[in-house]
Amino acid sequence: MASNVVHNINAAVTNQLDATRGIARSHVKLGNGIGSPTFTPTKKPTPALKMQPVIDDHHKNSKQTIHEGKFGKFGGKFVPESLITCLAKLEAEFNLVLNDSKFQEELEVALRDFVGRETPLYYAERLTRHYKDEEGKGPEIYIKREDLNHCGAHKMNNAIAQVMIAKRMGRRRVVAATGAGQHGVATAAACAKHDLECTIFMGSEDIKKQSSNVVLIKLLGAQVKSVEGNFKDASSEAIREWVGNLERSYYLTGTVVGPHPCPAMVREFQSVIGKETRKQAMEKWGGLPDVLVACIGSGSNALGLFNEFINEEDVRLIGVEAAGFGLDSGKHSATLSKGHVGVYHGALSYLLQDDEGQILVPHSVGVGLEYPGVGPELSFLKESGRAEFHTAIDKEAVEAYKRVCRLEGIFPSLEASHAFAYLDELCPTLTDGCKVVVNCSGRGDKDAAIVFNYGHHQEC
């Protein structure tokens, strides 16, 4: 595995990777680079709601295969040598639990009784009517209600599973980073349930914006450490903390970024979203969704929904990034729309970076979307053309938040509101009766003050 760390990468990367700071700080600009392998979707029968081991991945029937956490040219392990053994142990444990019936039974119970799954696939009747044309024709809109999970977001699906793994591995202390606070709350709650110490790193700017989640994290018994900056800075600091105590600590990532096996683990534990959606769609209308829509930050909620349908070529996969004040403003988080290929936080993917390869500061009214990178699998889905990616500016997301509140009585997070915002552009292009599923990845109580105080003086 060590050869995978530096294979086909500029030697400048490895010079940055010292034992305590490398994975957190390393990045190098590779440009738009070479093309990626051809993706050939294939049909598959409806599976049972069981997770499959990563070695039996859904990509196995396509021309592209995953090896050592690679999605085409993306992914990998760009980390210090000191972390290779640690990541290998984590990968081995991950594959063990996927085939361990006792673990799977415990996780199933936790997802049902602690998390509150399955979450509804809700027919948004008034939102559907809102997008009908003058002849009364238009798509039918369904909302996957991840906001109804315990702690108010999809993040708990992954947090509870990884805390269970940490406990199996004998780790007594969990370290995590959070942006909007949803992953922090979920991790703190899961650690409280399993009697583990928990430290959450959070950017100073995000602490001010998401103070209610900070209070919840502390009430759950976790320690909150403030880091100057935002989520990317908190992530770097959390990784450094983990590297400093590998034998006792467990780094619980909530995003599909980082070195292998981290993206695969998060994707796998979030894939319950798509598996339920397939089952519920068959029950409701006897077929698959036509279009899936999810917001894109680093990508965990999107891949959780998309993963089950990647080989279903008739299902459109649409990710919506945060355009902030506009794509030309320099103040956005649209990594797949405006980024370039490079290495950051241990993996090769698309990044927001300048001409010298320095990471740019992302912006979004949805704090959870403020990350300068994106998962390697989403990077591959972009280059392969299997998924399409669009954007919504801050103002559009705020208006979508209000619209969903007033039409459906649902408070979507500002992150998820970017997905709802894209319906304005999408729905007029769809045929009558087309089935659209929007992933409401989180609850928007935390954003109510931001939305209420959002002024028309904001730049757009």
Which pLDDT tens digit goes with each residue over 408-453? 999 999 999 999 999 999 999 999 999 999 999 999 999 999 999 9
Q: pLDDT tens-digit profile of 361-373?
A: 999 999 999 999 9
Write out the DSSP string of 294-334: EEESSSHHHHHHHGGGTT-TTSEEEEEEEEET-TTTT----
Examine the fold and report which residue of 259, 279, 314 is the final residue of a domain before the chain moves on. Answer: 259
Residue 172 predicted with pLDDT over 70? yes
Separation of alpha carbons 404 and 409, rounded Å: 7
Q: Is residue 14 part of a domain?
A: no
H-run or E-run covering 393: strand 388-393
Would you state the pLDDT for residue 68? 66
Separation of alpha carbons 346 and 75, rounded Å: 8
Examine the fold and report which residue of 259, 277, 305 is the final residue of a domain before the chain moves on. Answer: 259
Question: Which whole number is the average pLDDT over 112-129?
Answer: 98
Would you state the pLDDT for residue 24? 44
Q: SS3 of 289, please?
A: coil
Which single residue is written with the structure tokens 């089935």?
A: 435
Is residue 334 domain-shared with residue 278, that is, in the same domain? yes
By residue range, what is the domain housing residue 233? Answer: 80-113+155-259
Q: Is residue 225 part of a domain?
A: yes
Would you state the pLDDT for residue 63? 39
Q: Are 377 and 72 in contact (CB under 8 A)?
A: no
Residue 29 predicted with pLDDT over 90? no
Is residue 137 domain-shared with residue 89, that is, in the same domain? no
The band of 28, judged by pLDDT with boundaries at 50, 70 and 90, is low
Domain count, the chain: 2
Between 374 and 357, where is the model more confident? 374
Residue 16 predicted with pLDDT over 80? no
Is residue 179 domain-shared with residue 295, that is, in the same domain? no
Q: Is residue 4 part of a domain?
A: no
The encoded tokens of residue 90 equal 């984590």
Is residue 174 domain-shared with residue 316, that is, in the same domain? no
Q: Can you give the pTM of this predicted structure?
A: 0.86
Question: Which whole number is the average pLDDT over 174-189?
Answer: 96
Is residue 241 domain-shared with residue 376, that is, in the same domain? no
Q: pLDDT tens-digit profile of 140-159?
A: 999 999 999 999 999 999 99
Is residue 278 domain-shared with residue 357, that is, in the same domain? yes
Q: pLDDT tens-digit profile of 305-334?
A: 999 999 999 999 999 999 999 999 999 999
Would you state the pLDDT for residue 30? 52
Q: Is residue 304 part of a domain?
A: yes
Is residue 138 domain-shared with residue 287, that is, in the same domain? yes
Q: Is residue 41 part of a domain?
A: no
Task: Name the nearest CA neighbour of 397 among 274, 297, 303.
Answer: 297
Could you give phi then psi for residue 89, rounded to 5 degrees?
Answer: -65, -40
Most confident of 4-18, 36-50, 224-238: 224-238
Is residue 131 domain-shared with residue 203, that is, in the same domain? no
Task: Name the nearest CA neighbour of 169 among 104, 110, 86, 235.
Answer: 86
Question: Which whole number is the average pLDDT over 265-269?
Answer: 97
Would you state the pLDDT for residue 22? 45
Q: What angle do CA 419, 376, 422 make, to 5 degrees?
A: 10
Q: Is residue 60 part of a domain?
A: no
Is residue 303 domain-shared with residue 430, that is, in the same domain? yes
Would you state the pLDDT for residue 69? 87
Percent of the chain with pLDDT over 70: 84
Examine the fold and report which residue of 224, 259, 294 is the final residue of a domain before the chain moves on. Answer: 259
**CATH code of the domain covering residue 362:** 3.40.50.1100
Question: Which whole number is the average pLDDT over 287-291?
Answer: 98
Is residue 341 domain-shared with residue 437, that is, in the same domain? yes
Q: SS3 of 40, please?
A: coil
Could you give phi then psi for residue 32, rounded to 5 degrees?
Answer: -75, -25
Q: Is residue 175 part of a domain?
A: yes
Which single residue is written with the structure tokens 């295969």?
A: 65
What is the chain's mean pLDDT, rounded?
87
Is residue 312 domain-shared with residue 403, that is, in the same domain? yes
Q: Is residue 25 part of a domain?
A: no
Could you give phi then psi for residue 67, rounded to 5 degrees?
Answer: -135, 125
Would you state the pLDDT for residue 1? 38
Is residue 430 domain-shared with residue 321, that is, in the same domain? yes
Separation of alpha carbons 393 and 320, rounded Å: 10
Q: Are 238 and 177 in contact (CB under 8 A)?
A: yes
Counting beta carbons within 10 angstroms of the beta carbon of residue 279, is it exposed (0 to 12), middle (13 to 18) or buried (19 or more)?
middle
What DSSP designation does 149 have?
S
